[in-house]
Copies of this chain bind each other. A is one copy, B any other.
Amino acid sequence: MVNGERRGPAHVTLARTLGVAIVTGDYPSGTVLPGELELAGQFGVSRSVIRESLRMLSAKGLVESRPKAGTRVRERAQWNLLDPELLAWMFEGAPSLGFVRSLFQLRMIVEPAAAELAAVQRSAAQLSRMGHAVEVMAQQGLRTQDGQTADQRFHAAILEATGNELLVSLSSSIAAAVRWTTFFKYRVPLQYRDPIPLHRELFEAIANGDATAARVVTERLIAQAGLDTERALGA
């Protein structure tokens, strides 16, 4: 059985297994996967489960199936890299340095602009949520589970305050990935600069409606996280 310990439907588990195998390079682009019947035997499940898993992978652009030709791994450029699950699968293996850099480059493009928008558009309720999240972060620190989820809520609130649902969606994806980089980072016993003061600054800039300050502080925040992550990956 594919469901050794894990819970949830078998097709979800299997999609994850196959997805990780593909993104980590076990099945390079262009490769034809084993036939459905063979996969079924291999994983000890029925063909239906295999097929439903493959449909999920094809919905994410990872594979495409054709009769007689089999199921082929598509070019990496065609994958929906911004799919949150796909990003998570990427971080199951050891993500390449280039990929992590791409991620921080994207953050550097999107998040400062979002902070600018948020500084102008934020509602009182959103502001209150941001403030609360910052408080929790300050009290718990960023090494605790609560502190990290507060961090995520803080940034999610900013993105939501932009009033742009595409930015929100992009945020969910990025947040999923950032969560993993943070996980890696704090696995490595190095000293990092405390990011809490910058978070406070960012909150105040948004509260004051100071778009420029919000942009600048966000840039510094991401630059620092990027440096810390690279240091951790280098070790």
Binding site for B on A (CB under 8 A): 11, 15, 48, 51-53, 55-61, 76-85, 99, 102-103, 105-106, 109-110, 113-114, 117, 164-170, 172-173
A166 touches B106 (CB 8 A): yes
Residue in B55, B78, B166 whose beta carbon sits within 8 Å of that of A11 in the complex: B55
Closest CB of chain B to A39's CB: distance in Å?
Answer: 15
Cα(A56)–Cα(B78), bound, Å: 17
The 10 closest A-B pairs by CB, nearest first: A59-B59, A81-B169, A56-B59, A109-B113, A102-B164, A55-B55, A52-B55, A102-B166, A106-B166, A82-B82
Cα(A53)–Cα(B102), bound, Å: 33
Cα(A51)–Cα(B11), bound, Å: 11
Interface centre among A84, A117, A165, by most B CB within 10 Å? A165
A-B contact pairs, 28 of them (CB 8 A): A11-B55, A48-B48, A51-B52, A52-B52, A55-B59, A56-B59, A57-B59, A59-B83, A61-B84, A77-B172, A79-B169, A80-B82, A80-B84, A81-B169, A82-B169, A82-B170, A99-B165, A102-B164, A102-B165, A103-B166, A105-B164, A105-B167, A106-B166, A106-B167, A109-B110, A109-B113, A110-B110, A170-B170
Residues of chain B contacted by A99 (CB below 8 angstroms): 165
Residues of chain B contacted by A52 (CB below 8 angstroms): 51-52, 55
A169 touches B80 (CB 8 A): yes
Cα(A164)–Cα(B77), bound, Å: 11
Closest CB of chain B to A184's CB: distance in Å?
Answer: 18
Closest CB of chain B to A199's CB: distance in Å?
Answer: 22
Residues of chain B contacted by A51 (CB below 8 angstroms): 48, 52
Closest CB of chain B to A12's CB: distance in Å?
Answer: 9
Chain B residue with the shortest CB-CB distance to A174: B166
